[in-house]
Structure 1
Amino acid sequence: MYPDHTPHPPVRRAVEVHHPTPLPPAVAVSAPVVPVQSGTVPAVASIVLPDGRVITGYAINPAHPEPVAAKPAVSRAAVNVALGGVGFLAVCGGLILLTSFIAALTAFITQLITLAAVIFGGWIAVQIFSASGHRDGGTTVNIRKAVIKRNKFYS
């Protein structure tokens, strides 16, 4: 038995070889174009070939590549980092001014309190020391040596 399970040997067939037939070179002939009204572009264009055949199809405009946007000289990330640094410096300067303002305000309030204490203390001192030297209109009490003998008061 043979590998294809037939009792007879396989039949060999003749191999046919096909060679491609070269085409004659195309002759460059300008085909007349059907006249079109100026200012309007038809949706479909027709061309009449020299042998009389008419080819109809859509007019294809050549594709123009999109203009490439010029890359900036500096990347956006670098610009953002620089702007962040400027903003940080501005905030730090503002904080320094704020702390200086708070310190100056605290010193001013401390001086006002000290001035009020000095003025009020001086007024109190004047009131105390001036009362002892004042004798007009007051009651004078003379205390003498009193002697008490056997529950009796002697003046």
Structure 2
Amino acid sequence: MNEPVKHLAPSRREAAAEVHRPTPLAPVPSAPVVPLQAGSVPAVTSVVLPDGCVVTGYSVEPAKPEPVAAKPPVSRTAVNIALGGIGFGAVCGGLFLLTAFITALTALITQLITLAAVIFGGWVAVQVLSASGRGSGSGTTVNIRKAVIKRNHFHG
């Protein structure tokens, strides 16, 4: 039975003599194995496709999104504005003291300038008045005699 057939035409013999060898597939790296907890083996599911093929496999649960953090009852912007107002209020006391200090310093400087002007002016007045009373050589002496004034002319 396994002997070659001799009664076939030469073209058919050539066709029968061809040997087809399968091409080996490259090894596929294995997927990482996910350890399952005992007793939690997922159920096998079969799906019938529209062309009639049946696909069988394990069902995979979709990934659940992380829960969204609850919003605070008051917005962060409002809290920041309130804290800024409290900080400004705390600083206002210091600013008030600073402005009061500057005002007092200005009044003190004004009084010192006024006092210096009064003292210097008094010293100048004393110098002028004492010089004319002493008869020192720095002033001009005028002797007035009895004069006769006739017809708007001075005769001395």
Bigger share in helix = 2
Report which structure shows greater RCO (CA 8 Å, sep ≥6).
Answer: 1
Indicate the TM-score class for this superposition, using the shorter chain for normalisation.
Answer: 0.3 to 0.5
Return the TM-score normalized by structure 1. 0.46
Return the TM-score normalized by structure 2. 0.46
